[in-house]
Amino acid sequence: MKKQIIHNGSVVHYTVTGTGKPVILLHGFGEDSTVWRYQVPALAEKFRLILPDLPGSGSSPITDDMSIEGLAEAVHSIIHEEEIDACPVIGHSMGGYVALALAEKYYNHVSALGLFHSTSYADSEEKKAGRLKSIAFIEQHGAFEFLKTATLNLFSQQTKDEKPGLIDEQMGLLHNFSASALVKYYQAMMARPDRSAVLKNALIPVLFVIGKYDGAVSPADNLQQSHMPKKSYIHILANSGHIGMLEESVKSTRILEEFLLEI
């Protein structure tokens, strides 16, 4: 079911599907909620899935506050609208940053946390420099031209060699982004603080899904962070880069299902 709320004067669209206990799945940068399309059919048989299009992505326009904390507030508004006491929140990449910000402020509403190719660390100076170069490219050439190259680089070489159709499919979903939204996302990611304390202080289970060939989020950093929470679930996708839910969709679905059922 397609639904919407008004948050900070702007519409935030989201989808609710399935029955059972609620679970929120957050997409990353340059994606919308359809990035979870291969997981939804199986998971919806056991859970009530809530899949937002974060402000600036998919059907949701930009809001006044596009910071990571502002995006977390938008998700919290959905939690309030759906009358959820607490539920697991799983985020891919930038969506993981949003999930961490949500867990930091509204820990009572997050019963489990999932970092899917994501990190609690703040951007390094090298990472910030790379994002600034990306912003300059976006401002000069536009969102789609940037995303074509950036998205391709997120896949592992094995995926590129063996699943060109999958990559073409994802490329076909890149047209619904504005340059201003992408720039605001990059600015938000550069400004976000280190949230390692959220993991260190977590009393809830935390899932880490790591791509062996992830060039966007360091697998070594992920493994280091996975020892911070009191209870961690750690999975390495041996053939994936940064988009494991697509690259190894069956394994990713199984990981999520087993995690959600166990907790």
For residue 222, the number of C-alpha atoms closer than 13 Å in the C-beta half-sphere is 28
| Pair 244, 237: CB distance under 8 Å | yes
- Asked whether residue 152 is assigned to any structural domain, the reply reads no
Assigned domain for 131 exists: no
Is 145 a member of any domain?
no
| Residue span of the structural domain in which 225 resides | 2-122+193-262
- What's the pLDDT score for residue 175? 87
| Cβ pair 211, 241 in contact under 8 A | yes
Note whether residue 110 is domain-resident.
Answer: yes
pLDDT digits (tens, 9 = 90+) for 246-261: 999 999 999 999 999 9
pLDDT at 242 over 90: yes
Q: What's the pLDDT at 124?
A: 96
- We report the CATH number of the domain holding residue 106 as 3.40.50.1820
Residue 248 falls within a domain, yes or no?
Answer: yes
What pLDDT was estimated at residue 151? 96
> Residue 114: inside a domain, yes or no?
yes
**CA 261 centroid distance within chain:** 21
| Weakest mean pLDDT among 66-75, 168-177, 196-205 | 168-177
Residue 183 located in a structural domain? no
SS3 string, 127-185, reads HHHHHHHHHHHHHHHCHHHHHHHHHHCCCCHHHHHHCHHHHHHHHCCCCCCCHHHHHHH
Report the mean per-residue pLDDT for the chain.
97
Got the DSSP string for 63-85? -S--SHHHHHHHHHHHHHHTT-S
Domain membership flag for residue 144:
no
Domains of the chain: total: 1
